[in-house]
Amino acid sequence: MRTRAYEHTLNSSTVPAGRPALEIRDIELRFGGVVALHDVGFTVTQGHIHAVIGPNGAGKSSLLNCVSGLYHPQQGSITLHTGDGGTTHELTKLAPHKIARLGVARSFQNIELFSGLTVLENLMLGRHTHMSQSIAASLLWFGPAQRQEIAHRGLVEEVIDLLSLQAFRHKPVGSLAYGIQKRVELGRALTVQPALLLLDEPMAGMNSEEKEDMARYVLDVHELAGVTVILIEHDMAVVMDISDRVSVLDFGRLIADGTPDEVKANPAVIEAYLGAEDH
Amino acid sequence: MGAPMAADTFPRLLTGLAATRPNDTAMQEKRYGIWAPMSWSLYAARVRDFAHGLAELGIQRGDIVAVLGDNRPEWLIAELAAQSIGAAVVGIYPTSIGEELLHILTLARVKVVVAEDQEQVDKLIKLIEDERDGRRPTEYAAMPPLLLETVIFYDPHGLEQYDHDFLRDFTHVEQVGHAWGSTRAGWLDEQIAQGSAEDIAVICTTSGTTSRPKLAELSHSNLLAMADHLTTIDPIDAKDRYVSFLPFAWIGEQMLAVACGLSRGLTISFPEDSSTQKTDMREIGPDVMFSPPRIWESMLSEVQVRIDEAGWLKRKVFGWGYDIGDKVAERKIKGQSAGGLSVVHAIADQVALRPVRDQLGLARNGHAYTGGAPLGPDVFRFFHAIGVNLKQIYGQTEICGIAVVHRDDDIAFNTVGTPIAGTEIKIADNGEILLRSASVFRGYHRNPEATAEAVDPEGWLHTGDAGYLDDKGHLVVIDRQKDVLTTADGVRFSSAFIENKLKFSPYVEEAVTFPSDHGMTAIITIDPMTTGSWAEHERLSYTTYTDLAAKAEVQDLVSEEVNRSNEDLPDGIRVKRFVLLHKQFDPDDDEITRTRKVRRNVIADRYGLIIDALARGDERIGITTTVTYQDGSKVDRTIDLRIVDLTNYREPEGRGRRPVWSGRR
């Protein structure tokens, strides 16, 4: 193996870059009398890092939960494009595990890893949807199950390399620093070989150095693997730096959608989110 | 083995090894969590392909190829390939930036650079584009033109989108070379046969504690003579293992991994990543190791931190074992046997010392060397007490890194040993150490004036170091000649000696001392790992390095340490006042070299205000630092530093002594 290039692609989408990957149309999400999202709609383009920003309680995580199937909006549609043949899937009525099988992977704002398992084991779990051996074969392990595990380990090791997790491979996730755990979360989402990657505040609670590292990794993931990313983030500097497109939510409504420069110049955004004193 | 070796070249040695031991492992690299071996025959085949590839790119006999990257098999493949076609290789520290890089590339007229990854390629693209657009900063205008034509990278990650026409993938060059070579059967063998042992094999940048690095030309015969002389003292053979993690741009790594590696057929192992170095080294358990003092000091700090985190029983057991190890070591280094202690020592070794060696990856180690800078006698002693056969090497890049070394049965912690075979030593009238051997370099690249200053017509290398031979014939190095100080009563001493005493404290990372009217003063940087762990133990909260260094408790802690190191010093050279600097020394700021030697002149210049304030005995000093970000923007920050005065220092009552191996009492 002379080359150092990765053997596996981490992007399972075959939609050509520049075409729509995810279309969100007129979403309405209510919890009883509380309207979490009202009339929200935008399009995520294949190959973009698409940021969703907004003040606390604006409905960012709710929107992500609608895409990954944890919430089912009362109205509207979310259409995922897979394959260049124009195959589409309507996500609003699907269960989360079915959406995951379509290649939508996500990381959570609060780390959702198995803290007693090692980094490697957590990442191998990300391959779960791709494993096909029966319980009996897996218990026996030798033979097909072993071969399968070795094949999946190859991909997982490339993710470890991509995210520089080598030193933590065999450490239990619970013993690791917060910034590293966030990186493992990203890794776990990547081992799914996503068609669409949803990142819910990957840099929350980090210091500026950790943030910079994480931004670097998100960019690496995007550049190396070409994965389409929907990114929820609070840190404006990071968002404006790494995103191709930004959608802004405020009180459950979409108040702006455009390139980082357009959004920065939008008066509604400045008032709602950036605050008057900043500009 | 022996005499005929010196007449050979590295490519011919590789050809020989590929023929005699084709399936043995030449090197192994940990990739994706697995040690991936490369046999001698595959190594030789890849060198052939890459050599053809370089020839196809226009590299000719006498050219110089630069390699810029961390230690990987590709580094050595590029080196041997260049040498196979009569070119030489210059190693550049992967952390080098801007001016340093431009200086080396232009001075050596480099046409092809083999770079590791996106990070290195980005630096080179910037240089090439600035040169093309005439944007070279005016202060570098005097440097010759940049002739760089091709950049070859071996880690393609992140480079997929780059479309610069001068970029080539390493494996692509190998493929093209393979095709190019297949139509020219026998061409490369002829090239290898034409190579002379007197050709330049490697150009090493001198560490340049004083000025811009000079490029020292080392021939095949220089390096192989050195390998022969070293291995007659400490035999190395094909069964031995070596872990390569220090930069190949450093002479010490070329010396063991390349010169000894190829002449003795060592297996070289490359760690997976800098972060996994320690665990990888422990997995391999190298037989031979050569590291600068930094590495040994950090190993000691690590032991100190981990012992302090251990339970009381482990501390007791280790303390007991250490004392016995220390006594036995004292006898051993004088060539005596352990005598009555041998049985107890065997037990102490099993229960207390070997486990620590194992943790450090030194369980199998037979020969360990330190060199490049002086190592504090106390650190030295620690390693002998835990059973590591650590020896001092003295030598410059200009003499292939080694001229003087300790022998197994004749080690003294304050000397650097006796000359290796074939090396003559002489102390000049002004106290300068002069050396002469077959390993004295060919000269500085394109700098005959400097060469004439370094080597006189009789072949003596002027080291610039002051020293003397003691009554047992050991060489004692005092310091760089211009740094040697003389006390009022005429005793010659070295600030490095005081600094090393200070640095023996686990909490002190670097110390730079300056003479003043009232005694010595010092600028000290703390070791964030040990001091941080101490602060946690003391329930002291801190945020950044700057914050930690400004804590009064930390200043008290260091005061105690400085006071302790003062006890062994004559009054005139005791440290009277010190400052804990708000930052660590950084090679990017030129404050230390890439091999982590302090640049005194830069420190003296940059922190002149602090040094003056120390000399005056002020209580505080405010300094303004300018931080330059990568995008060119600059920010000024003012920081207030406290000057700690030890003139009337009294050690707090009732404090016990801490043992060498621990940061606590």
CA closest to B162 among chain A residues? A223
Per the rule left: phi > 0, alpha: psi between -120 and 50, beta: everything else, B47 is alpha
- The pLDDT tens digits of the residues spanning B140-156 come to 888 899 999 999 999 99
ipTM of the complex in this document? 0.85
Q: Is A149 on the interface with B (CB under 8 A)?
A: no
**What is the structure's pLDDT at B17?**
95
Q: How far is CA A211 from CA A208, A233, A245, in A?
A: 5, 11, 20
B628 and B544 co-located in one domain: yes
Residue B630: is its pLDDT beyond 70?
no
So where are chain A's domains? 112-193
**Across residues A157-161, what is the average pLDDT?**
94
Which residue did the predictor score with more confidence, B625 or B552? B552
CA closest to A219 among chain B residues? B158
Q: Of A1, A5, A166, which is closest to B273 when you measure between CB atoms?
A: A166
Please give the Cα distance from B300 to A172 (Å, whole number): 27
Per the rule left: phi > 0, alpha: psi between -120 and 50, beta: everything else, A54 is left
Q: Which residues contact A176 (CB under 8 A, 6 or more apart)?
A: A119, A168, A184
Mean pLDDT of chain A: 88
**What is the structure's pLDDT at B100?**
85
- The pLDDT tens digits of the residues spanning B439-470 come to 999 999 999 999 999 999 999 999 999 988 98
- The pLDDT tens digits of the residues spanning A190-228 come to 998 999 999 998 988 888 888 888 998 998 888 887 889
Q: How far is CA B614 from CA B447, B545, B599, B620, B646, in A?
A: 40, 22, 19, 9, 12
Burial of B56 (0-12, 13-18, 19+ CB in 10 A): middle
CA closest to A164 among chain B residues? B273
Helix (H) or strand (E) run with residue B418 in it: strand B418-419
- The pLDDT tens digits of the residues spanning A232-250 come to 987 788 888 899 999 999 8
Please give the Cα distance from B107 to B148 (Å, whole number): 12
Give the model's confidence band at B376: pLDDT under 50 very low, under 70 low, under 90 confident, else very high.
confident
Give the model's confidence band at A269: pLDDT under 50 very low, under 70 low, under 90 confident, else very high.
confident
CA closest to A221 among chain B residues? B158
**Tokens 């995008």 label which residue?**
B631
**What is the structure's pLDDT at B441?**
94
- Please tell me the total count of domains within chain B: 3
Q: Which of B394, B429, B447 is the last residue of a domain?
A: B394
Which residue did the predictor score with more confidence, B340 or A95? A95
Percentage of chain A beyond pLDDT 90 is 51
Residue B340, in any domain of the structure:
yes
Residue A171: is its pLDDT beyond 90?
yes
Percentage of chain B beyond pLDDT 70 is 97
Q: Which residues contact B497 (CB under 8 A, 6 or more apart)?
A: B374, B478, B479
- The pLDDT tens digits of the residues spanning B309-352 come to 889 999 999 999 999 999 999 888 888 887 788 899 999 999 99
B205 and B314 co-located in one domain: no
Which residue did the predictor score with more confidence, A148 or A138? A148
- The pLDDT tens digits of the residues spanning B418-438 come to 999 999 999 999 889 999 999
**Tokens 């075409």 label which residue?**
A19
B560 and B602 co-located in one domain: yes
Q: Is A34 on the interface with B (CB under 8 A)?
A: no
Give the model's confidence band at B372: pLDDT under 50 very low, under 70 low, under 90 confident, else very high.
confident
CATH number where B606 lies: 3.30.300.30
Output the CA torsion sign for B93, B98, B101, B103. Answer: negative
Residue B216: is its pLDDT beyond 80?
yes
**What is the structure's pLDDT at B6?**
39
**What is the structure's pLDDT at A278?**
46
Interface contact flag, A3 B169, Cβ < 8 Å:
yes
Residue B461, in any domain of the structure:
no
Which residue did the predictor score with more confidence, B466 or B627? B466
Residue B453, in any domain of the structure:
no
Q: Which of B269, B303, B323 is the last residue of a domain?
A: B269
* B316: Cα separation from own chain's centroid: 34
B374 DSSP 8-state letter? -
Interface contact flag, A166 B161, Cβ < 8 Å:
no
Q: Are B238 and B265 in contact (CB under 8 A)?
A: yes
Give the model's confidence band at B98: pLDDT under 50 very low, under 70 low, under 90 confident, else very high.
confident
**Across residues B478-495, what is the average pLDDT?**
78
pTM: 0.86
**What is the structure's pLDDT at B656?**
65
SS3 content of chain A, % helix, strand, coil (to 5): 40, 25, 35
Q: How far is CA B368 from CA B51, B389, B406, B414, B556, in A?
A: 34, 6, 11, 17, 36
**What is the structure's pLDDT at B655?**
65
- The pLDDT tens digits of the residues spanning B81-91 come to 999 999 999 99
**What is the structure's pLDDT at A30?**
93
Interface contact flag, A2 B46, Cβ < 8 Å:
yes
Q: Are B210 and B601 in contact (CB under 8 A)?
A: yes
B357 and B499 co-located in one domain: no
Strands B390-394 and B367-370: parallel
Residue B3: is its pLDDT beyond 50?
no
B294 and B322 co-located in one domain: yes
Give the torsion through C-alpha atoms of A102, A105, A110, A111, to 10 deg.
120
- The pLDDT tens digits of the residues spanning B576-611 come to 999 999 999 988 888 888 777 888 888 988 899 999
Residue A2: is its pLDDT beyond 90?
no
B252 and B295 co-located in one domain: no
Strands B215-219 and B241-243: unpaired
B256 and B310 co-located in one domain: no
Q: Of B155, B158, B171, which is closest to A2 when you measure between CB atoms?
A: B171
Interface contact flag, A220 B157, Cβ < 8 Å:
yes
Partners of A52 in the beta sheet? A232, A247
Q: Of B154, B160, B272, which is closest to A166 when you measure between CB atoms?
A: B272
Q: Which of B394, B414, B447 is the last residue of a domain?
A: B394
Please give the Cα distance from B506 to B304 (Å, whole number): 7
**Across residues A244-258, what is the average pLDDT?**
92
Give the torsion through C-alpha atoms of B612, B616, B617, B618, to 10 deg.
-70
Please give the Cα distance from B64 to B67 (Å, whole number): 10
**Across residues B13-41, what is the average pLDDT?**
95
Which residue did the predictor score with more confidence, A120 or B375? A120
Q: Which residues contact B126 (CB under 8 A, 6 or more apart)?
A: none
B233 and B366 co-located in one domain: no
Which residue did the predictor score with more confidence, B647 or B83? B83
> CB atoms < 10 A from the CB of A215, how many?
21
**Across residues B112-118, what is the average pLDDT?**
95
**What is the structure's pLDDT at A71?**
93
Q: Are A24 and A43 in contact (CB under 8 A)?
A: yes
Domain that holds residue B385: 285-394
**Tokens 């290398």 label which residue?**
B461
Q: Are B119 and B159 in contact (CB under 8 A)?
A: no
B261 and B294 co-located in one domain: no
**Across residues B363-391, what is the average pLDDT?**
90
Residue B220, in any domain of the structure:
yes
- DSSP, collapsed to helix, strand or coil, labels residue B166 as coil
Please give the Cα distance from B255 to B230 (Å, whole number): 10
**What is the structure's pLDDT at B106?**
94
Q: Are B599 and B591 in contact (CB under 8 A)?
A: yes
**What is the structure's pLDDT at B516?**
83
B128 and B231 co-located in one domain: yes
Percentage of chain B beyond pLDDT 90 is 63
Mean pLDDT of chain B: 89
Helix (H) or strand (E) run with residue B319 in it: helix B312-332
**What is the structure's pLDDT at B62?**
94
Interface contact flag, A164 B46, Cβ < 8 Å:
no
Residue A279: is its pLDDT beyond 50?
no
Please give the Cα distance from A123 to A107 (Å, whole number): 12
**What is the structure's pLDDT at B308?**
86
Per the rule left: phi > 0, alpha: psi between -120 and 50, beta: everything else, B411 is beta
Give the model's confidence band at B210: pLDDT under 50 very low, under 70 low, under 90 confident, else very high.
low
- DSSP, collapsed to helix, strand or coil, labels residue A87 as strand
**A92-106, A184-198, B62-76, B630-644: lowest mean pLDDT where?**
B630-644
Q: Is A87 on the interface with B (CB under 8 A)?
A: no
Residue B413, in any domain of the structure:
no
**Tokens 């500026």 label which residue?**
A208
Per the rule left: phi > 0, alpha: psi between -120 and 50, beta: everything else, A269 is alpha
Per the rule left: phi > 0, alpha: psi between -120 and 50, beta: everything else, B287 is alpha
> In terms of residues, how long is chain A?
279
Percentage of chain A beyond pLDDT 70 is 97
**What is the structure's pLDDT at B208?**
60
| A87-90, strands of its sheet edge to edge | A34-45, A20-31, A75-82, A87-90
**What is the structure's pLDDT at B175?**
96
Q: Of A4, A166, A223, which is closest to B154 when you measure between CB atoms?
A: A4
